[in-house]
Amino acid sequence: MAVFETHSQDETAALGEQLARTLSPGSLVLFTGGLGAGKTAFCRGMAHALGCTDEVSSPTFAIANVYRGPQPFAHFDLYRIHTREDLEAAGFYDYLDMGYIVAAEWSENAADILAGEDAVRVDIVRTGDNDRRITVEGGAL
């Protein structure tokens, strides 16, 4: 487990870039953290490092955003996902099987379902207006 402190969205995104460079196709990254913690900023950095060309935004209403690039990236919001059937219907496992790197915000809402998954777990805690404490477990950072 590694703990990092960031002091801006750019620093949070840079940490996402750093993590993405350690991942291989089919990797799963599970995020926890409150509203406005910086999960999407972190994913923005991941997408950049993976060479994705699409603009990264929160998948809140879409459930999943898919970004094209040399290493495709699927970005999920599990806020309204509570069953394995919901995950399957959203294509969650399909993207993993196709070799996409998959990031899932609000993974605590599907914690029981995802408990056995081989995943990097990222927890982001807001410690100030621009400050974050980011804990990465299972990653090579």
For 1-38, b where at least 16 C-beta lie within 10 A, e where not — what string?
eeebebeebebbbbbbbbbbeebeeebbbbbbbeeebb
Closest CA to 15 of 138, 116, 124: 124
Mean pLDDT by 10 residues, the chain (141 residues): 96 97 96 92 96 83 87 93 91 95 94 92 96 92 69
Quote the pLDDT of residue 74.
Answer: 96
In the 8-state DSSP scheme, what is residue 89? H
Domain 25-132 of CATH type 3.40.1410.10: no
Quote the pLDDT of residue 61.
Answer: 67
SS3 at position 64? strand
pTM: predicted TM-score of the whole model, two decimal places: 0.93
Quote the pLDDT of residue 80.
Answer: 86
d(CA 106, CA 121): 11
What is the domain partition of the chain in residue ranges? Answer: 25-132
